[in-house]
Amino acid sequence: MIPLTGRTTTSNWTHPATDVWQVADAAHAEAGHHAVLVRPGEPTPQGAGLYVTTDPQVAGPGPTLHLPVKLSHVDVGDVLAVTDDGSRVSVVWKASAVHNSILLTERCDHYCLMCSQPPKERDDSFLYERARRIITALPATARALSLTGGEPTIDPDAFLGLLRHIAQAAPELSTHILSNGRRFADPQFAHSYASVELRDVMVGIPLYAADPSLHDYIVQAEGAFSETVKGILNLTAAGASVEIRIVLQKTNIDHLGETAHFIARNLPFVNQVALMGLEMTGLAKPNQNLVWVDPHHYRAELKAAHRILTTAHVPTRIYNHQLCVLERELWPAAVQSISDWKNAYPVECEPCVVRDQCAGVFTTSGTRLSAHLEPITRDTNSDRRTLNEKIAQSSRG
Ligand code: SF4
């Protein structure tokens, strides 16, 4: 796992102009609004708003932040959030990463059995404001962004304001929003959302079952199913892009076929369905007896659901699954979807010939992995054809 936060020490600390900084090289020092990275042995330029370094001997002419060794991966184009007193830093954008997300709130009106980011009820409205500053500080190379929570729409005005800011400050970004969809049950809100002129934006909305009571049980919120489905309908009616996400777990796996049929019959116009493997962290840990099922045991159900959806021409992808626990037929639909900073390949993967195309595992899941991970060592003609098809079709999502 790549560490993204750490304790810092300072020298010449006077309150810098902002808490969010894009890291730049010495050539950008004059601009004053970048944090200039001073590498060990390099001269320290004048004029930077902030200096960052892993060299404890460096003291710039202005506020200087000494990064811990574990953050020596910080590089030009990354964006840092620094506490007011300079005692902590978070890497809120990693320029080299395929996946970057911004947390907008920890508040949520769901309490899902397997939530990887358990909700907290406290005023964290500063996060929406900080998200604006992160967007402003993004490097020109930034291409794709995920907005997460909590529930990103919990403060509807702050959410819409942020989207309008993205449209202005970073119009080239592709934006993916993870939402439970319930706010969009309000047609006026769905319309306001769809009216923001973002170039490329999609809302990913979980729908865990076709049975309202089962969906409501999984999200621990009565009436959620009805509002979520209304939200999906309002969004698509307003011309917005929608992805339905189904996290596969013990509670819903026996009903996956019904869920696929429900979507195929009632919501076939969504842009995509993602059939997702479980990340065993957050609330999934204390609830593991309720939620954990080895993906090896639902191979047949997954293949059947994929067939039901694709037969109805619903684009369907498989996230967070290792190729060795999937039927070969599903390999072309499998996406390397796990964020770089929490993605790994266990030791058994070393001899595997499909490692470069496999999603690998969540480091956050610890040892709670499929008991059936097994390197693929055969390189048959049919495997090679399947892989070529997969390479042609998939990209990191
Ligand atoms: S052995 Fe590892 S790399 Fe190979 S398919 Fe399984 S999880 Fe992926």
Residue 69 CA to ligand 1 centre (angstroms):
31
- Output the tens digit of pLDDT for each of the chain's 397 residues: 789 999 999 999 988 889 999 999 988 777 667 899 998 888 888 888 999 999 888 888 999 999 999 999 999 999 999 999 999 999 999 999 888 999 999 999 999 999 999 999 999 999 999 999 999 999 999 999 999 999 999 999 999 999 999 999 999 999 999 999 999 999 999 999 999 989 999 999 999 999 999 999 999 999 999 999 999 999 999 999 999 999 999 999 999 999 999 999 999 999 999 999 999 999 999 999 999 999 999 999 999 999 999 999 999 999 999 999 999 999 999 999 998 889 999 999 999 999 999 999 999 998 899 999 999 987 655 665 666 666 555 443 3
Listed residues 321, 339, 357: the one ending a domain: 339
* Terminal CA-CA length for the chain: 19
Q: Are residues 148 and 172 in the same domain?
A: yes
Which secondary structure element, helix H or strand E, spans residue 6, and what is its range? strand 5-7
Range of the domain at 79: 5-93
- In the structure encoding, which two tokens stand for residue 350, read together? 């070393």
| Pair (113, 83) in one structural domain | no
- The CA radius of gyration of the chain, in Å to the nearest whole number, is 22
Specify whether the CB–CB gap between 107 and 154 falls below 8 A.
Answer: yes
| Binding site membership of 343 for ligand 1 (Cβ less than 6 Å) | no
Distance 351 CA to ligand 1 centre (A): 9
Residue 245 shares a structural domain with residue 170: yes
Of 46, 71, 93, which residue sits at a domain end? 93
Q: Are residues 131 and 176 in the same domain?
A: yes
- Is the ipTM here above 0.90? yes
Nearest residue (by CA) to ligand 1, atom 2, is: 349
Does 318 sit in the ligand 1 pocket, CB within 6 Å? no
Strand, coil or helix: 395: coil
Whichever domain contains 219, its CATH number is: 3.20.20.70
